[in-house]
Chains A and B, each alone.
Chain A
Amino acid sequence: MTCLRPAAVLLACIAVAAPSTADAYIGPGAGFAVLGSFAVIFVTMLLAGASLLVWPFRMLWRAIRRRTKSKPLVKRLIVLGFDGQETTITERMMAEGELPNFQKLAASGCYSRLRSTFPSITPVAWSSFTTGTNPGKHNIFDFLDRDPRTYLPRLSSTEIGSVDKVLKLGKLRIPLAKPSIRLLRKSKPFWTVLGEHNIWSTIIRVPITFPPDKFYGAQLGAMCIPDLLGTQGTFLHFTTRPGGESFQEGGLQFELRANGSENSFEGTIEGPENSFFEGNPPMTLPLQIDVDRENGRALVSVNGDSLELEPMVLSEWVKLSFKAIAGMKVTGICRMMVTEMDEHVSLYVSPINIEPEKPAMPISHPGYYCSYLEKKLGSYATLGLAEDTWALNEKITDDHTFMTQTTDIDNEREEMLFTALDRLRKGTLVTVFDATDRINHMFWRYTEEGHPAAEGIEDPDYAHAIENQYRRNDEIVGKVMERLGEGDVLWVMSDHGCTSFRRGVNLNAWLMENGYLALKDGANPSEPWLQSVDWSRTKAYAVGLVGIFLNIKGREAQGIVAAGDEAEALKAELKSKLDGLMDAEKGSVAINDAFDTDKLYRGPYKGNAPDLLIGYNHGYRISWDCASGVVAGSVFDDNTKAWSGDHIVDPRLVPGIFLANHAIDSEDPAIIDLAPTALTLFGIRPLAHMEGTPIVDKDRFKRS
């Protein structure tokens, strides 16, 4: 500001000294400064005027459309979701006084364990939170579903269609419609119901909200928002090292070629498919890396911009604009890091997130809400699973990088929370923080002696990574508590807990060993996605993360098991063999129970569920091979990946947490109870199809 003062004085002098004619000469110069701002003021005034004029009519219209008049018991309901926050750790830390704000909240209201869903995984649990229904009614049973026509896995929550109608002009194909994007979660979110009663909701990053819901409020989508490649998160690795093109999970490797010197390299970033051309070739961007080994710097040039990187230091968000055709670009954002620059040079590029300023897909409601947040906070992660766990699993990045990424995303989320909270006068605000879950997954190996993934552990500082994250959550809770006013209700919750993942169970290998799954003659059992399976001789198979499907006639394309008695008998047989399944090598129970989903779920969509849901014991989970449809190998194997904690187990082992600044009238609250409770707090009777029970008694709550 110091340099501005003399400038202001000089300009004032010119304005005073110059005669009237000379004033006009200032026009274009001053124009740069004022034109934009005058335009803004003009638009602002126009908007304000229009808003003021329209306001009474808008209110009237809302009053007319309002279904019933509710009598809210609360002014604001603020829900902080810490995905995956584990009860045992939380309770221990609370007892040790490590989470003072959690303790304060528990003392002023309540603390309880929160029953999760079957299965206890994020998409399922949050969908039950959202709708107050069991999976049989909201149709989300797993991260992945299988296509019964092909047996291939597909995303369970979102269906992105292709455009069939195109105008062909030589090689060019002009789509005549937009591809449809459909949310497969059924039932009605409680915020939609609140909206029908004129109650505003701001919903930030609650999983399974892509495409976003349409309701009276604002929503930023979360889990299942794809990256720009259309995947759930594919990192790119550019390297001069010879080697393969892909990783087991979520990564692609590209070659870096020497560019005429030993210090300059070039590669090509492959972006989304270009549907304007036949064959959908990928849109590309040239990439150049100039390394300065002496000074430990690399200059990465892409998109006409250059950024200087130090080895193993993540860049800020970098914009990548891929040109589809003249005048049409698809823009994403990513973070980059040079991972080595000695003998070989390698560059890590994070999954290319959809740019929030001008998103290529609908990631928020209203559509401009994500742009609003971008203007408010700057670029932020939009990918459903934004923390790049795959790159750490594949040892492309390290613990420090992952932690930096996760903390940065957590900070973005915190800013979003407080931006929304400061503007919410009445209604609901739900914000879900993912860092707890991701850190549980990736740093559990630090907490357990003898964990197979603990070998060669990098940095003992991360021994307390999980506890540090819980402390950070406590700080956020404290900040929110400071902002609470009369009539405000605060809930702090997690959808499930977390436990160790030491051993993987390959269910398909087990099914083969026990004669329920057969391979094609001469097929390679290491082929992914069950490509080696002979369906004409297979009675059951595992796809996704949580269960087993029977190969039923008329349902599966090549089904051999008759629906009805035969299927029931097979299910019972499998259940009896899987219940209490022992890991002989370790001498421990790997599977507590296999649950018959026909008995577990109610509702019109329960037929889409796996037939059996596997309730693993502590320390066990579906193996990495089984998750990618590989039949080969032993039934049990050690998990040596950084992803060392999990919650795809018997849901009774990993309940969530629930804290509120009010007492509750339930001794065993469940996540499914929260949607009807939210409605009750706003004086709305829970919808008939909701199965949860309000955890507060309306009259008692009123009195208290």
Chain B
Amino acid sequence: MKLLNDLLRPVFDLLQSPFIGLPAFVGILVWSIPVGVFALWVFGKTSNQERIAEVKRRIFAGLFEIRLFNDDLRAIMRAQGEILRHVLHYQALALKPMIFILPPLVLVMVQLHQFYGFRGLRPGEEVLLTVQLAPDSVEAGRRPEFSLEMPPGLHAAMDPVWIPSLHQITWRLGVDDWGDWDLAINVDGTKFSKSIRATEELIRLSPERPPSNFMGQLEWPSEPPLDEGGAVHSMTLGYAEGSVGILGWDFEWAFAWMVVFFVLTMVVALVLRKPMGVEL
């Protein structure tokens, strides 16, 4: 996974570079086109198109039946039942293409989440840095030795807090200036680093330096994982949630971009399904 992330990082940094200064919506829109085409192509190649068309026909027949026999409650209920049965069949038929669509799509979306899910810090803001220690690295009742080297442009807004029950150390950092830094954190004599960015541009942010397990690396690919068995399990920086502006409305939510991306991808797929000859 680490190797894959190391390969994908520069590729996505490069592909995303044209959108650095543009509104998030533009980037999401552009990304949704190739992704929609790809998903549609895979769906067409890997699904049983004939059966899907057949099941869809039967679903529509059920809808017509509800309309046709709208005086007959029993007929309406029967048609409902048939539609439900065919919808379940339809979903079952869509499982196979999903297996082929999901892995590459998850990788793409994880990468995009690093750009669109959060926004960079701004001067004057404060942010929490949480260092999660491995539970067996600290004996009960012992407070670990820790420190943080503060680069210029940042300052400690308050003393760090040690929460023994959670094995967590938390710093509140104040941002004084725009910049791109690596924080150096010392825990029991071992040094760890964590990137932090104060920026207005649409660039890669790393809200978490992940543990070395598969899911951690899959979810947070922007920084190399922490060593397995080390004192620190993960380090999290509380970036503000990203926002997407649509028609003058600003939706501030880490997953807002995903909703927009999802809808746009579907629109692309729906528009292109006939030219590409794919039954959805």
Contact = CB atoms under 8 A, between A and B. Distances in A.
Are A and B part of the same complex?
yes
A425 B101 CA distance: 46
A375 B60 contact: yes
B67 A368 contact: yes
A376 B71 contact: no
Contacts of B97: 32-33
- For the residues of A in contact with B, the DSSP-based class is helix
Contacts of B280: 32, 36
B70 A51 contact: yes
B39 A32 contact: yes
Given A40-B83, A47-B63, A372 B68 contact: yes
Interface in A363-419: 366, 368-369, 371-372, 374-376, 378
A33 B63 CA distance: 19
Nearest to A41: B87
Interface in A28-49: 28-37, 40-41, 43-44, 47-48
A534 B262 CA distance: 76
Contact of B43 (A32, A62, A375): A32
Interface string B30-55: 00000110011001000000000000
A44 B64 contact: no
A270 B160 CA distance: 83
Residue among A54, A55, A58, A423 with most chain B CB within 10 A: A423
B99 A10 contact: yes
Contact of B39 (A21, A22, A28, A40): A28
Contact of B64 (A1, A36, A375, A378): A375
B57 A423 contact: no
Contact of B69 (A18, A34, A423): A423
A47 B67 contact: yes
Residue among A1, A25, A218 with most chain B CB within 10 A: A25
Interface in B246-264: 255, 258-259, 261-262
Contacts of A58: 70-71
Nearest to A32: B43
Contact of A366 (B68, B80, B102): B68
Contacts of B66: 44, 47-48, 51
A372 B80 CA distance: 15
Contacts of A48: 66, 76-77, 80
Interface string A1-39: 101100110110010011101101111111111111100
A52 interface: yes
A457 interface: no
B65 A372 contact: yes
Nearest to A369: B68
A59 interface: yes
Contacts of B96: 3-4, 7
Contacts of B76: 48, 51-52
A54 B43 CA distance: 40
B215 A25 contact: no
Residue among A10, A36, A371 with most chain B CB within 10 A: A36
B56 interface: yes
Contact of B98 (A22, A32, A41, A369): A32
B109 interface: yes
Nearest to B259: A27
Contacts of B74: 425
A372 B64 contact: yes
B8 interface: no
B58 A26 contact: no
Given A18-B215, A32-B39, A47-B63, A27 B258 contact: yes
A54 B74 CA distance: 15
Residue among A33, A41, A47, A48 with most chain B CB within 10 A: A33
B266 A31 contact: yes
B4 interface: no
A21 B43 CA distance: 24
A48 B259 CA distance: 29
B255 A24 contact: yes
Contacts of B266: 28, 31-32, 35
B219 interface: yes
B110 A25 contact: yes
Interface residues of A, number: 53
A403 B106 CA distance: 55
A27 B113 CA distance: 13
A17 B95 contact: no
A25 B218 CA distance: 11
Contact of B218 (A22, A62, A425): A22
B200 to A, nearest CB: 24
Contacts of B87: 37, 40-41
Contact of B99 (A11, A22, A37, A43): A11
A26 B71 contact: no
B154 interface: no
A37 B58 CA distance: 12
Interface residues of B, number: 60
Given A32-B94, A47-B67, A378 B59 contact: no
B271 interface: no
B15 interface: no
A31 B262 contact: yes
A33 B100 CA distance: 13
A19 B95 contact: no
Interface string B94-127: 1111110110011001100100000000000000
A478 to B, nearest CB: 25
B150 interface: no
Contacts of A425: 72, 74-75
A29 B102 contact: yes
B225 interface: no
A44 B83 contact: yes
Contacts of A218: 68
Contacts of A37: 59, 87, 90-91
A425 B68 CA distance: 14
A32 to B, nearest CB: 5
B136 to A, nearest CB: 22
Contacts of B57: 374-376, 378
A4 B51 CA distance: 13
Interface in B235-280: 255, 258-259, 261-262, 265-266, 269, 280
A14 B99 CA distance: 10
A200 B93 CA distance: 37
Contacts of A33: 90-91, 94-95, 97-98
Contact of A19 (B60, B105, B215): B215
A45 to B, nearest CB: 8
A21 B219 CA distance: 8
Contacts of A371: 64
B38 to A, nearest CB: 10
Contact of A7 (B40, B83, B84, B98): B98
A561 B90 CA distance: 71
Given A33-B91, A44-B80, A48-B80, A28 B64 contact: no
A423 B98 CA distance: 36
Interface in A567-609: none
Nearest to A372: B64
Contacts of B219: 19, 21-22
Interface string A456-481: 00000000000000000000000000
Given A37-B87, A55-B70, 11 more contacts: A1-B92, A4-B96, A24-B255, A28-B39, A28-B105, A32-B43, A36-B280, A37-B91, A43-B63, A59-B71, A368-B64
Interface of B: 35-36, 39-40, 43, 56-77, 80, 83-84, 87, 90-99, 101-102, 105-106, 109-110, 113, 215, 218-219, 255, 258-259, 261-262, 265-266, 269, 280
28 contacts: A7-B96, A11-B98, A19-B219, A22-B110, A24-B255, A24-B258, A27-B109, A27-B259, A28-B39, A28-B105, A28-B261, A28-B262, A29-B39, A29-B102, A29-B105, A30-B98, A32-B266, A35-B266, A36-B56, A44-B84, A47-B67, A55-B71, A58-B71, A368-B64, A369-B68, A371-B64, A372-B68, A375-B57
Closest 6 CB pairs of A and B: A33-B94, A372-B64, A375-B61, A25-B109, A29-B101, A376-B61
